[in-house]
Amino acid sequence: MINLIIYLREMAVDGLAGGIAALISNLLFYPLENIRARLQNYSSEQNQKEKGKDNIRKEFSALRFCYDVWKHEGLKAFYSGLGITCWGSVVTFAIYFFWYKFWKLALAPYPQTLDSSKIIVITALAALITNALTSPIWRIQTIMCVTKEKKSVYQHVRDSINEDGLTGLWKGFLTGQILVLNPVINFAIYEKLRFLCITEDSQVLCMRIIFLISLIAKLTATLFTYPLLTLKTKEFTNKGKGSTLQVLGHFLKEEGVFALYRGIYAKILQTVLNNALMMVTFEAIKDCIERTLM
């Protein structure tokens, strides 16, 4: 009974710390996330219809695209969807860290039993559960990022249900489940580097080391899985009934293979800095909460 209470407390502490850390980091780096979503959702075909220009695909420039958004929609356009992103991040990472801690305690209750294979399984299980529970949040958030319509979260949810039914809120779900490769790669590398950096003399890592290994882990994961994120963004904003393969086929036909990496610079900058700050903040908040409860 005592062990159960301790486990539940540790899970709650990790969930709370993860949620607060995600909120702080997202508030700082949100414009980069907004730009990433806009670039991934960019359509040469639609842009030609709107502006009547030829060869836009060949002349595409991310900087020019961002400038056009700022010129026509103003600076506030880069903060569209901030509200749902903030509380969505708190919910998502609170759920993620809660289940990560749960499976970690269940499958590897002692640190010496935590090997690479278990890290991968634990991370994958936590990510799968989190994506299943929060996918609707991120579909609405993506739509709010890229649309010019000034609607509330409730209105976007209502429109989505009216157009695609209740299951439409889970568009991109399958791609999201495959995207568990991102946190799997990220946390597998992070935990392994963290384990390698811990010495017998020092069981607690300094913030500089945590920041560095977080950068390395997230950068690697982002480079490998970014095309899947682009596909998920297109599925989120797709108003048709096409399957994942149909959306992918149409995208490749219209934009080309290299367009799968459109917005990668903004994503790397946002994700790497966001994740590094989040992990540093997570460790600091977790330590603070644990010392307070002792």
Instruction: Spell out the domain ranges in the chain.
Output: 2-293
Beta-carbon count within 10 A of 46 CB: 12
CA–CA dist 7, 106 (Å, integer): 9
CA–CA dist 152, 150 (Å, integer): 7
pLDDT the model gives residue 54: 45
Kindly report the CATH class assigned to 2-293. mainly alpha
pLDDT the model gives residue 60: 55
pLDDT the model gives residue 87: 84
CA–CA dist 229, 222 (Å, integer): 9
pLDDT the model gives residue 137: 92
Residues whose CB is less than 8 angstroms from the CB of residue 20 and which lie 6 or more positions away in sequence, other chains included: 90, 281, 285
pLDDT the model gives residue 236: 87
Nearest alpha carbon to residue 183 among 254, 84, 75, 103: 103
Binned average pLDDT, 10 residues per bin, the chain of 294 residues: 67 79 81 84 62 47 78 82 84 86 81 73 89 92 83 88 87 88 82 76 70 83 89 84 82 85 83 76 83 75
Residues whose CB is less than 8 angstroms from the CB of residue 186 and which lie 6 or more positions away in sequence, other chains included: 123, 217, 218, 220, 221, 275
pLDDT the model gives residue 58: 44
Q: Which helix (H) or strand (E) holds 64?
A: helix 62-73
pLDDT the model gives residue 129: 94
> pTM of the entire structure?
0.72
pLDDT the model gives residue 113: 66
* 116-146 helix and 2-41 helix, angle to the nearest 10 degrees: 50
